[in-house]
Structure 1
Amino acid sequence: MKTPKWGYQFLQYFLRLWLPLVLLLVVVLWILFRTQADAALAILQANERQSIQMGKRSIDAALSVLVGDALYLAEHSSLQHWLDTHDSEAKSRLAHDFLAFAKRRPHYDQIRFLDEHGYERVRINFHDGHSFIELASLQDLSESPYVRNTLALDEKAVLISPFDLNIEQGVIEEPISPTIRFSAPVFGDDGQKRGLVVLNYQGYRLLNRLRAISEQSLGSLWLLNAAGYWLLGPDPGTEWGFMYQDRQAVRFEREFGEEIWSAIMQGPQLGQWEHEKGLFTYSKISPAEAQNNVNAEEERWVLISYVPPSVIAASTAENERNLVIAFIGLTFVLALVSGIIAYYIVRRRQAEAAVRASEIRFRGLLESAPDGIVIVDQRGVITLVNSQTEQWFGYTRDELLGNHIEQLIPERFRSGHVKVRDRYAGKPATRPMGAGLELFGRRKDGSEFPVEISLSPLQTDQGLLVTSIIRDITSRKQAEEMQRQVEMRYHGLVNNLPVGVYRNKPDEKGQFLEVNQAMVDIFEAESAEQLLTHHFRESYCDLAERNRFIGKVLHDGYVKGEEVRLKTLKGREFYAALSAVMKKNESGGIYFDGILEDISMRKESEHKIQQLNERLQARSKELETINRELEAFSYSVSHDLRAPLRAMDGFSRTLLDEYADHFDEKGRDRLRRIRAAAQRMGALIDDLLKLSRVSRTEIKREEVDLTQMANEVLQILQQDDPARTVCIQIQSGLMAYGDARLLRVVMDNLLGNAWKFTAHAQAASIEVGEELKGGQIVYFVRDNGIGFDMAYADKLFGAFQRLHDAAEFPGTGIGLATVQRVIHKHGGQIWAESAVNQGTTFYFILDEKESA
């Protein structure tokens, strides 16, 4: 009786208990399944968002460093020094400074400086792991768009080029070299644009960082440009489609649809969208918005993390199978509690594994940061540091963890730092530490270095944690010190200039803003302060000159060397040369920078020179009158004296011819003497006229063949005296630069003398040639005739001077004077070397400067 009842009750209670439990189990397992699926999806979504954020921070950090590098090089002191001096030593120092920078930053393929015309002046190349200075193949890049766009930027601005592949001579470089160019305009100390600095960043480094982040997540991390082309894609065959003709159709919207791409591009900057085609997490990146003073030429990137549906399904499939097994087991063996406990243990371990993976990613990001990062608790105890902190401070991680932050602070600041830290713990806020103060870090060896520190608080379950981001600014401080020294040298140079340097306003008063010491001396002021309170308007002797000067500067932008009359503070008037250039300050106000030079002495010298010129012009007119009188006298000598001489000669010849038998021998001798004297007088008149014409003749220089000229002269002499036999040697190729007519006079006289004075030589010889003496070409005419005593050489070139008997060697004694006059007129010299009965050599040179 009990068995059926017990069995029925058992069955009833079992069913009452089991059915609700089964139903409850179904409900619990269903809720658990959905919770697990949602949790898995939430974790997946959080991980993908974290990957996107890590990728964006990596890009932003890289862009910040690269933009800073471009601005740093654009303001580099070596570059500014070379722009000021333009000497080769400064350029060499600039190239080596760029090379040293490239070795410290090996992530640039090229570092270049181009002048304002777009021509490369300095280029550092990186090849096979080494940086070197390129000297041979500097290029003209004036037509490159990024050069023109960079030169259009303002000071302290940076242009970021599109992210693309490097192209050499119109062909994509293989293996491919992803490149981003960072360029900044370079301004001189005068505010003028002097060129640009260009850095070719090795883009694969940025892509490798994104690949490393992608490897730590379930999704694939992609980087696309605004047109939807992959820069970093699913595989190399999908990347850089806009660079290859055969990949133009390989775009994101073609692969996943216009709807997804439009949702991403029209959505917020950071977003996540689950679609039947997968999970899309994205962040839109604009370099121009991420960095100050950056022009990115409309460059936009999209960072996308993609998880396909199969991966999402795989993350929940295992949970679904586990729940089915658990449901079956709990139904038959009352293992509901154990299964649930076991399941939650597994889930907890999975969650712990996810946390550990997240911590590893966080640690990787922390270690890859370019700055030192130190996290301390509210007691100032160090709880975490990165490798950059170890490197900068020289401590190991174990030596820092658990110790107070004051360990990294110089001893003289430690006591004060404790108070500052306590105040900060009371009112924590994100801010830079010690704004406006000089902060220093202390290394393990006791040395100090300047730093910048940013503080960021974080409230946790364990209390307040403060993250300190520390940056070593030694290089920047050194650059600032170098800049300060350059400015000191510049001010020293300006103050030591012998001319006045000023800055003033072109307003009604014209008050000086800055002056150098020379301005104080020129205006006879007691001090620079006195001159700065003086109104420049009051220094003009004529206010109209001031108005014209200001009008020219405002119209043309500058004026150079305008001469005005000014007066000093003591009332002394003087002439000044004013130069000025118009400039504008930050608020748009106009001021003049200029130079003032006291030219009173120069004006006085110009007045004296003008008076001297007037006297010279009067003297020149007198000389012209005298020359005209001399020409009239020469004409009179030529015309009036020749007539009686011809009459004397003619009548004497008539007497000899027709009445010779009426005279005895003595009478005929007297008539012959009369004729000879008249002919000699005519020859003297001819030679004097030749000498006069030589003095007045203007030289017309040209190339003259002296070899040909000497041959012509000697040929005529041979024809006039065919009975003589003379050995003649004329060097070939004798070329001179001078007046052909006057040089013919020289050759006629010198060769005529050589012909005449070798008349009694047994084997007469005449030689014409040239030789090199003291680096000059010396021409000579040599003979072996009668010669002369060198004791009388000073009389050789005088008019009417003769060293031989006129009866034996006829002549007027004017020929050599004429030769000397011709040579001197050519700016040359003539001399002779001789010995009695051993021949004579005449040497002459022409002006080499005129010849050149």
Structure 2
Amino acid sequence: MSKFQNFLVVIVLVIFVGGIAIVFYFSDMNREANLSKAVEVKNVSITKVSIDHYFRMIVTDLLFLTDTLESELGSEDDVEHSLQKMAGYFRSMSLRKGIYDQIRLINEEGREVIRINYNNGKPEIAGKEKLQQKGNRYYFRDTFRLKRGDVYVSPLDLNIEGGKIEVPFKPVIRFGMPVFDADGKKHGIVVVNFLAFALLDQIKKLASNSLGDIMLLNAHGYWFIGPKPEDEWGFMFPDRKEISFANTYKDEWSIMRAQDSGQINTNSGLFTFKTAFPLLADWKTSTGSAEAFAPSKKQSPPEAYYWKIVSHVRPEALSAGSRELFARLATLYAALVLALGLSAWLVDRTFGKSIGMPAGGGLSPFVLISATATVIFISEVMVMLILPFFQPLSKMTEAFVNASFMTIMVVPTLYFLLYRPLNHHIVKRAIAENELREKSDIIDSMLTSSVDMAIAATDLDFRITYYNPMAEKIFGYAAKEVIGRTVMQMHTKENVEPERFEKAIEIVAQKGEYRYSVEKEKDGEKRYIDSRVSGIYDKENNMFGYMLMSRDVTDKRISEKQKEEFITELDRANTELKDFAYIVSHDLKAPLRAISSLAGWMSQDYSDKLDDEGREHLQLLVSRAKRMNNLIDGILKYSRIGRVKPQMEKIDSLAVVKNVVDSVDPPDNIVVKIVKPLPTIVYDQTHLAQVFQNLIGNAITHLGKPEGEIIVACDDEAEKWRFSVKDNGIGIDEKYFERIFKIFQSLKARDELETTGIGLSIVKKIVETNGGAVTIKSKVGAGSEFIFTIPKQIDVDAQ
């Protein structure tokens, strides 16, 4: 072979390998670009879900606070006492959630009545001297004008205190609702200042795997989250009005404003965006105001309240991967060119020379060539170096003899380009057969795990491969009728819309599964079927088919319907109870107070004009009015249990018992002993105080001995606390154990003891509503012991 021929072969190989490198480069770059786009789409989508979640959670909290406040206004005559209780509820909410900078009750005149400051995790109730006038703030005006049940959501902006933007910046959203009493009179608004740091920080964390900057924009293109802190909140400052995404990226912003989501690839980089509409259709909002005491410019519909979530990958970040890949391929290509050039140089060096075969050459990596650059001898070791895994070696050594030296350079190249892919295909086929067996095992294990469920499996072409006996029972087809047929064929037979099938496959691809319910008529009876379509995956997480799992849920649906009807009836009963409580509180207590006051005046002014019998009757009237008032209070307390959500928090039970003992003020002949220690528990403090007050008060009232002792104790019983209130009184006959816990029941005549017969009923209802139980141990003449339990693990959110 001439020098020119050697050179030509080298050039062809260089071009050939270079072409492969170029194809690989552009293929890999396209794959990387698609992957980057998918990652950014995922980031902005997750961010939108997070925003929606926060808004709904906050409004749920606001509804709870407002409902509780309105309930207090309707059941308490002592407004000051109600406000103190609500301040405690507000503080508990602030402490438990940790996302509200302030929780406030503002009256109809715009004056703060209650304000809870978060105070860096140590919520405090603001003193009266610190309460401010907020009647001229836009969020008060915009909320106070709303109807009952309406929710107001302010724009996201920076908090203003004392007429100035608070430093360091404190981003807040104000959620508000008007407050009404039972007569429909508006008393003010409840406002929670959501500390938006929680949401903004979570957005940044969710996008931590983004190639570029994650940005959050308001509807006017201003940054809430920007590439630089100094770019953020431009709309709040007169001298920074021009600093916005809308001004920096005008062309991109014009496209984003017109679309809810999409991707734009411009000279400025890759922009992936999605629009978040966090308000529900019946929520209210307005434009707000960046000035402290300026009103909103206008009221806005919910759809006008939107944010743009934007991921911006700069051009240099997009090209970083291509530069790295190009550098790797260029290095490899240069090495191959150098190797080919070195081979040509070796041919040129050995051209015209001859050499004898060395002894033992078969055990050394030798190639002997003639003066015409043909192979005289090549050792098996050399063949192994050139063509690894090629068998048999003896035939290859013979094949190379008399070949040109360039052949032993070309053949390895062709081996790696042609033979190895072919060999890989053979191996891949064997692997595929093994995977098929594994997939069969996977399907079998999934199918045998559910005997009460109809299961059908298909391959990726939607051809049915499995159909279990329960599927035959539910769908009415024998396995032999459906196996081997496609889902589309069965849908045509069943008159199922093609759109439903296409929707199912699309959702499975996006979310991993698709759930739906259908109604079927069978033997003249309506049956309800719940189904789930999901992918079937091998051990390497590659999908190789689809699975339909269906269950007849007719009995469950009937039970749920009955449950819904029961809940509806229960809600109606609760509404009637609430109305009854209002009637009792307002319509009965008002004339009762008048009777009591009149009797008091008569006792003071006309006592000397009445005889003993008259004074006795007058005193009896005062006593009966007092008893009736206590009875009404007891009924109201009883009706509130279970209707008003308890405020679960960590409380010191010892401190609660001490306060109760002080308030009950036992007579000198009765000693109350507390067996320490008493635990710190999670409970509603008001409920716990009512339980101890009623049990200790009941023991004092019914002691029946000149010297009495009441012992309060607690035992640790694994999953619950076991509290007890024990006395050394006259005891109770066992036949009355159930009766004493019934409302309005007393074992002694009402005239003998001033009692309402409600106290123990309240104890039982409180304890059982909170997951505990009440029991009694007693013998006539040997005292009584009331025992109640409190679970250690109380689900606060479920209360």
Q: TM-score, normalised by structure 2?
A: 0.43
Query: Greater CA radius of gyration, 1 or 2?
Result: 1
TM-score (norm 1): 0.40
| Larger RCO (CA within 8 A; separation ≥ 6) | 2
